[in-house]
Structure 1
Amino acid sequence: MATYEVPPWAADGERPPLAVRPLHLALAAFVATVPPFSPLFASLAAAPQYAAVEASFLFAFLVAAVLASIAVIVRALQARPRPWRRSRVTAVCVVAYLVGLGVFEALVFAGQPMPALALAAGIVAGAALPVLAAEWARAVEGPMASSLALCAFVAVLACFGSWMLALLPVEGVALAYGICALVGAAPVAVTARAGAPAVPVRRARQAVERLLSVTWLPLLGIAVFAFMVTVIAHSAFGVARASLVGGMLAALVVFAACFLWGKRPLLPWCYRVLVPVMAAVFVVLGSFPAGTFPKDASVVALYVFYIVLALIGCALLLAVVRARELPPNATVGLGVAVATAAALAGFVLSEVLAVTDDFGPWATVLTGAFVSVLLVFLGKTAWAELVSVPEDGAAPEEGAGAGERAGATPEAVAAEDLWTESTVQDALEARCAALAARFDLSPREAEILVFLARGFSPAYIAKELVLSVSTVRTHVRNIYRKLGIGKREELIHLVDGA
């Protein structure tokens, strides 16, 4: 039987995964100004005192960001944290971040170098970064598909905007940088007033273990990306920074994955297809002789590879924030801590210790090491799926519900039925919504009920919603208890009769 390959958003019967809002434009401005990852920040190098104060500012910024991230994580994971006014704390952090960046901009045009003041400005701005990042994550959180599309949109806008603004004289770059910093930081002071309620944490250790079990590979990718962009600055064919060109190409690749080729669940597909393909492109291009076009293009391919990893990691963090398994501050704080710690390591090696003048040859070594870890992970995952015993309810039995076809997987069956018979999908969701209202299911339980009614297993639901399998099983048990049933067949009959 033929099956239809449909985009993930069409299979859900929802709108496309990205609906651009003004808030997203402000997020792109924020991303374009975060040192040391901002290409626009590096464009201030032509300023008179940049070389004298840049190292002090960046070192203090990264150290403060790492320590502040750790403090945010520890506080978020406390069983009974002391109450605090989010709006007030966020407003203070916005002011601190803008003051720190503003002082640095003033110092690069000062009459004489003032590294001590640059050090203080870096501490103030870096300490505010984790709170701003957490508030941005709260403001734009969403499912994996929409989060990945959003990250790609922000990346292409930030890279293209930075490329255009970098063509201005250094005074114009400084003015544009200050405006982008203000536009990117100010909105979170408003969004913090209407945030989601706090997520209680009973066992901090188990909570961190659940988070790492879902995010360790993307976090590793973010760390490698942060390290490499700190120690290596390449030009793409002599026309622009390789990071800018690579960022735009990576965004286009991710857009294609979200809208055209992405399978569900999207995250495992990215690991198994998208990331290995990007690594293979870099390896093939890098094997050509020096001085040839493919060899030069391999530098851009390297940045594409790392930025795709970073986009997947950022999207996953947004999806985890939406899942509400952990406090958003803990989730985002972990991501910021990993990224800034890796950037700090690269900064210390290249600027402080001056281990080598050219880290270029190490790029291939680091990429090979990461790909090796990825291959081991994929092999272990494939073997686990091969030898694992199918879970109860992993596939609907014959006659168990709508959308069933002999010889086809539940995922393929659901995709075909939802693509060809949208009215059936609407009816199924309506019946599930009626049951959820009648039996007082929580919003998350109502969402999982729809997946169960379609015949999906807890493992699949966990991958799709970016939850741990144990959390999904807990929700399933609660659903069965509230509905007064004990088996999948009873659930299907209950949904059919709703």
Structure 2
Amino acid sequence: MADGLAKTLAGVLGFGLCKTALGVAYLTAMGSVFSNVGFISELSFMTPMLVASLATASLIVLGARRGRLSPGSLKQYPAVLALSLGFLFGGANLLPGLPEDALALVCGLLCGFSSTVLNIVWLDVLSAERDVAAPTIQIIGALIVQCVLIPLAVGVDRFWAFGAPIVAVCLSALLLAYKKRGMVFPARNILAPADSPKRRDLALAYLCVFVLVGVVGILHTAVLGSQSEHLVGDVNMWVPLAVATLVTLLMAIVALRRPHPTSVYRVCLPLLLVVLSLLPFFGDALGGLVGLIVIVCYDVCGMVFLLYIVDCSRRLDLSAYLLAGAYLGGSALSLLAGLGIGSVLRALSVDYGLSLLTLLAFAAIYPLAGVFMFGLRKIQRRSTTDADESARSGVDVREDASKCEGKHEANAFTQGSAEEIQSELRVIDDILESGVEVIAGENGLTRREREILGYLARGRSARYIAEDLVISENTVWAHVKRIYAKTGVHTKQELMSSVEQAALRKRQQ
């Protein structure tokens, strides 16, 4: 018990220190600058950083797919060394004879490599936790630690800005080594789930976050050096970080440890569409509000996606290397594309006298609207169709039951064999029970939740369950909500269909 608590605290502090060091590296270009325009510190630093991140993530995904990287085998120490060297080169100016662009290139490459490896290593460790709630607690706690420490590191003197992150990442490495001691890493699948709805769910989550990252890149790069730079330049980066951390915390509580990115997109995308559509008309009047809203949405989606990666790794039994590598590599590619498009828009505005805000609004609105209208809506319709198909597929189990019931009637009226009736009823119950066991195991249900799932699979009401288990109806509903959240369903019919499908799969094995 004490060891478990100590390792949970090690996860909170260790991941928090790691995120703090990486955040400072990102915002200060490895301690070399102290002014930024939103997320942009130096383009000459960010471009090689994103290229290095994309290359590193691709290599990790490739290694996992080929079986060369098993869970828990990726080492953090090269990344810790790279990040420390980057801060020494950028902040302490250990390479005084190197031109600024060359120094930015070196620091960017070191930052991209180290941030990708460290994030993936931590997410892999968190996904291997035995307790279902532990990863969420540690991620939320780490985000709070990051929110508190980043302004302290960035807002002080130059020595503190490059010295503190080095200390932070070294302490984080020690805490991670302690946390991994004795940890068992389960083998994970290296292929996408065979179930079509689950594949579509993954594709939608990744598509939305990539589009949002690209739009953020377009906005930031397009306004650099223009009279509209204040849209993101006036934003104090700690404010959206604090707001996003609070929102993510509330979502984790409300969603019972499993906030889904799609629920964030359904709020963020319409909000962004409204704000961006006002840019051509009220851009200057809106001021930093535009940048604040965009950055908050970006931060929230990024934070929730950390929870989503760990949840998918556990729930779908997928390699965290694949999930985290795809997220970090895809985000780097999307941000690179956004930076390129933003630079083109800025050049068009200067060369042809076009309104930068109008160009920016169109370039950002179309991809967001496309994902919102044709992505979220279409997937939602397909999910509804899949639910109907699941219900129909459950007919096979019900047919078995009806056949048994038909036999029951025949036996009752012709032979009156009570023993045979009871035997066949037990067959029906065993079919449902096997589905309940599968669903409970796949989704990490507690003993009480698994017990209540058995009642729900048989169509029992909350009142019946409360009376049979001698607990309050409110307690039953609380457990039911947790079961819905963990299994990703919204109605009892969907839950019953899921149990029936699981039972069929087990019978076919």
Partner residue, 1:126: 112
Equivalent residue runs for 1:437-448 within 5 Å: 443-444=441-442, 447=445
For residues 59 and 162 of structure 1, do their structure 2 counterparts lie closer, same or farther at Cα, with a shift above 3 Å needed? same
Distance in 1, Cα, partners of 2:197 & 2:94: 44
Distance in 2, Cα, partners of 1:87 & 1:371: 41
For residues 314 and 200 of structure 1, do their structure 2 counterparts lie closer, same or farther at Cα, with a shift above 3 Å needed? closer
TM-superposed deviation, 1:243: 3.8
Q: Tell me, what secondary structure is at the counterpart of 1:106?
A: coil
Distance in 1, Cα, partners of 2:438 & 2:202: 32
Counterpart pick for 2:210 among 208, 216, 223: 223
- Greater fraction helix: 2
Partner residue, 1:377: 375
Counterpart pick for 1:29 among 17, 34, 39: 17
Two-structure CA RMSD over aligned residues (Å):
5.1
Equivalent residue runs for 1:24-423 within 5 Å: 24-34=12-22, 38-41=26-29, 44-46=32-34, 57-78=45-66, 81-82=67-68, 86=72, 89-107=75-93, 110=96, 113=99, 115-116=101-102, 119-120=105-106, 122-141=108-127, 151=139, 153-197=141-185, 199=187, 201=189, 204=191, 213-227=200-214, 228=216, 231=221, 241-260=235-254, 262=255, 266-267=259-260, 270-271=263-264, 274-275=267-268, 278-279=271-272, 282=275, 289-290=282-283, 292=285, 296-323=288-315, 325-348=317-340, 355=347, 364-365=361-362, 366-367=364-365, 369-384=367-382, 388-389=388-389, 391=391
Q: Identify the structure with bigger relative contact order (alpha carbons < 8 Å, sequence gap 6+).
A: 1
TM-superposed deviation, 1:466: 6.6
8 Å contact 2:49–2:110 — kept in the other structure? yes
Distance in 1, Cα, partners of 2:205 & 2:296: 15
Q: Deviations over 1:410-440 (max 9, x none)?
A: xxxxxxxxxxxxxxxxxxxxxx9xx99xx99
TM-superposed deviation, 1:98: 3.1
Q: Deviations over 1:343-401 (max 9, x none)?
A: 3334455679974689766654425531441233333244345553561669xx9xxxx
TM-superposed deviation, 1:253: 2.5
Give percent identity, aligned residues only.
Answer: 16
What 5-or-longer segments of structure 1 have no aligned partner?
A: 1-18, 48-52, 398-431, 483-498
What 5-or-longer segments of structure 2 have no aligned partner?
A: 1-6, 36-40, 351-355, 399-429, 460-481, 490-494
- Give the counterpart letter for 1:373 in structure 2: V
For residues 30 and 330 of structure 1, do their structure 2 counterparts lie closer, same or farther at Cα, with a shift above 3 Å needed? same
Distance in 1, Cα, partners of 2:502 & 2:52: 39
For residues 362 and 312 of structure 1, do their structure 2 counterparts lie closer, same or farther at Cα, with a shift above 3 Å needed? farther
- Determine if the alignment matches structure 1 residue 464 to structure 2 residue 486: yes
TM-score, normalising length: structure 2: 0.62
8 Å contact 1:72–1:130 — kept in the other structure? no
8 Å contact 1:62–1:341 — kept in the other structure? yes
Q: Deviations over 1:58-81 (max 9, x none)?
A: 433322221221121122122xx2
Partner residue, 1:11: none
For residues 277 and 178 of structure 1, do their structure 2 counterparts lie closer, same or farther at Cα, with a shift above 3 Å needed? same
8 Å contact 2:244–2:300 — kept in the other structure? yes
For residues 104 and 156 of structure 1, do their structure 2 counterparts lie closer, same or farther at Cα, with a shift above 3 Å needed? same
Distance in 1, Cα, partners of 2:75 & 2:244: 35
TM-superposed deviation, 1:317: 1.0
Distance in 2, Cα, partners of 1:455 & 1:440: 15
Partner residue, 2:3: none
Distance in 1, Cα, partners of 2:488 & 2:20: 27
8 Å contact 2:14–2:172 — kept in the other structure? yes
Distance in 2, Cα, partners of 1:267 & 1:84: 27
